[in-house]
Amino acid sequence: MNYLQAFAISASGMAVEKMRVDVTAANLANAYSTRAADGGTFRAQRVVSAERAGGFESLLRGAQVVELQPVDAPPRLAFEPGHPDADDRGYVAYPGISPVSEMVALLTAQRAYEANVAALNAAKAMALKTLELGR
């Protein structure tokens, strides 16, 4: 059935934007982490999305998450000699995460998600309206 195609496309966009919100939440949660899981300083990440290759018939294709790209920002050094993660000069390396740009990314992803919901609702309203043909 054809109306399901619009649903699937919108769903792929919603999945991508949900991923963006998750990654931004992880960035904000680790804004003051002094250690990363791999031992170094935590680095903020950005979702890279692309058009989904194939999958849907016809020319219309959804979106998909391709990779997580670390943001190339230098760590923020703070002078805290008593800190357990301080280096020999007493500086602690905090992640170079800007809360402002993270909030912008969060809001952008939220609005993009809402746009996908709006597109899906439009497709649904059209399908329901079609059922009123001839009534």
Partner 1 sequence: MGQDFGTWLTSAVGRVNQQLVQADQGLRELAAGETQNLHQVMISLEEARLGVQLLVQVRNRLLEAYQEVLRMQP
Residues found near partner 1 in the complex (CB under 8 A): 3-4, 7, 10-11, 14-15, 18, 120, 124, 127-128, 131
> For residue 51, what are its two tokens?
């058009």
The answer to whether 106 touches 14, Cβ cutoff 8 Å, is no
The single-letter code of the amino acid at 130 is T
Q: Which is nearer to partner 1, 87 or 114 (CB)?
A: 114
Q: Which is nearer to partner 1, 69 or 121 (CB)?
A: 121
> For residue 114, what are its two tokens?
């809402």
Q: Which is nearer to partner 1, 3 or 32 (CB)?
A: 3
CB of 124 to partner 1, least distance (A): 6
Taking residue 12's Cβ as centre, other Cβ atoms within 10 Å add up to 21
CB of 51 to partner 1, least distance (A): 19
User: Helices 99-130 and 3-29 meet at what angle, rounded to 10?
Assistant: 160
> For residue 135, what are its two tokens?
């009534």
CB of 11 to partner 1, least distance (A): 6
From CA 92, how far away is CA 20, in angstroms rounded? 28
CB of 18 to partner 1, least distance (A): 7
Q: Which is nearer to partner 1, 103 or 128 (CB)?
A: 128
> For residue 19, what are its two tokens?
């991923």
From CA 34, how far away is CA 31, in angstroms rounded? 9
CB of 37 to partner 1, least distance (A): 22
Q: Which is nearer to partner 1, 4 or 50 (CB)?
A: 4
